[in-house]
Amino acid sequence: MTKPLVAVLSGAGISTDSGIPDYRGPNGLWRRDPEAEKLVTYGYYMGDPEIRRRSWQLRRSNRTLRAEPNAAHLAVAELERSGVPVRVLTQNVDGLHQRAGMPERKVLELHGSARSVVCTRCEARGPMADALARVEAGESDPPCLACGGILKSATVMFGESLDPLVLGEALAISKACSVFVAVGSSLRVQPAAGLAGVAADHGARLVIVNAEPTPYDDLADEVVREPIGTALPALLRTLAPVGDG
């Protein structure tokens, strides 16, 4: 008998306990410093060398690459290890689900990864750590070593579209799952937010775990306002097979 599929859509709120700021929350970076949004906007980034230099300095000071998974990430990986089919659809670029133990192939990074860089000309990819080492060594705007093109974080910047293959797979999972847990997401950034509605429309039990109200609360079977670090592990334990610790 096929076990029901659990889809977990995670947003910035799942990683705040790991020390990564929520960009859109009440105290988020975009609210505190609207100018900072230019650093991750494709048009500004490609057209202004000074924006790129500032972006590389922001990446140097970014805590994302030094962050460790928290109890919520670990709970998702633990559910997967218990034998429940789990797929993670994450709006985050921090790679913490994988670091917590989720297999790479079971995590769809809707907005890309901050742990890699990509050339905007030849699409060559490499580790972010290597590019940051070049910045530390004095290159303020390190070009692609393969073709000399402009390097950027392998994340989806404002003004860029999501990878259609990744989005297509996320849609298929949302349609097929029995339980859809949206955790730490404002559910305001499309098209990722719309996956919650797709899941509900296809009969999934929709659970929203988020500190603030979302546009999809009325569709949800359950809305949890408790802190994610304790609420998500408790919720996921109810989905684990009986007898699993």
Q: Which of 146, 140, 141, 139 is nearest to 121 (CA)?
A: 146
Say what the pLDDT of residue 200 is. 97
Same domain, 138 and 217: no
Give the model's confidence band at 29: pLDDT under 50 very low, under 70 low, under 90 confident, else very high: low
Of 155, 187, 213, the position where a domain reaches its end is 155
Read off the CATH number of the domain in which 33 is found: 3.30.1600.10
Same domain, 188 and 225: yes
- Across 89-105, average pLDDT: 96
Same domain, 86 and 107: yes
Is residue 73 annotated as a catalytic residue, yes or no? Answer: no
Say what the pLDDT of residue 22 is. 67
Residue 176 pLDDT greater than 80, yes or no: yes
Whole-angstrom CA distances from 16 to 39, 57, 184 are 21, 21, 9
List pLDDT tens digits, range 230-241: 999 999 999 988
Give the model's confidence band at 189: pLDDT under 50 very low, under 70 low, under 90 confident, else very high: confident
CA pair distance 194, 182, nearest whole angstrom: 11
Same domain, 137 and 233: no
Same domain, 58 and 120: yes
Of 91, 125, 155, the position where a domain reaches its end is 155
Say what the pLDDT of residue 62 is. 81
Residue 26 pLDDT greater than 80, yes or no: no
Count of Cβ atoms closer than 10 Å to residue 232 Cβ = 29
Q: Which of 71, 74, 111, 70 is nearest to 89 (CA)?
A: 111
Give the model's confidence band at 1: pLDDT under 50 very low, under 70 low, under 90 confident, else very high: very low
Say what the pLDDT of residue 97 is. 98
**Would you mind telling me the total number of residues written for the chain in this entry?**
245
- Across 6-13, average pLDDT: 96
Residue 51 pLDDT greater than 80, yes or no: yes
CA pair distance 52, 152, nearest whole angstrom: 8
Identify the active-site residue in 73, 97, 111, 202: 111
Whole-angstrom CA distances from 206 to 12, 66, 190, 218 are 19, 32, 18, 10
Say what the pLDDT of residue 193 is. 92
Domain range for 78: 1-20+69-111+162-245
Read off the CATH number of the domain in which 185 is found: 3.40.50.1220
Say what the pLDDT of residue 208 is. 98
Write the single-letter amino acid at 172.
A
- Across 108-121, average pLDDT: 96
Average pLDDT of the residues of the chain: 92
Same domain, 41 and 116: yes
Q: How many domains does the chain have?
A: 2
Same domain, 9 and 90: yes
Same domain, 240 and 142: no
Same domain, 172 and 102: yes
Contact criterion met (CB below 8 Å) for 153 and 112? yes
Say what the pLDDT of residue 3 is. 78
Say what the pLDDT of residue 244 is. 43
Contact criterion met (CB below 8 Å) for 80 and 102? yes
Say what the pLDDT of residue 33 is. 65
Same domain, 37 and 107: no
- Across 71-80, average pLDDT: 98
Same domain, 132 and 52: yes
Percent of the chain with pLDDT over 90: 81
Of 155, 186, 216, the position where a domain reaches its end is 155
Same domain, 6 and 91: yes
List pLDDT tens digits, range 207-232: 999 999 999 999 999 999 999 999 99
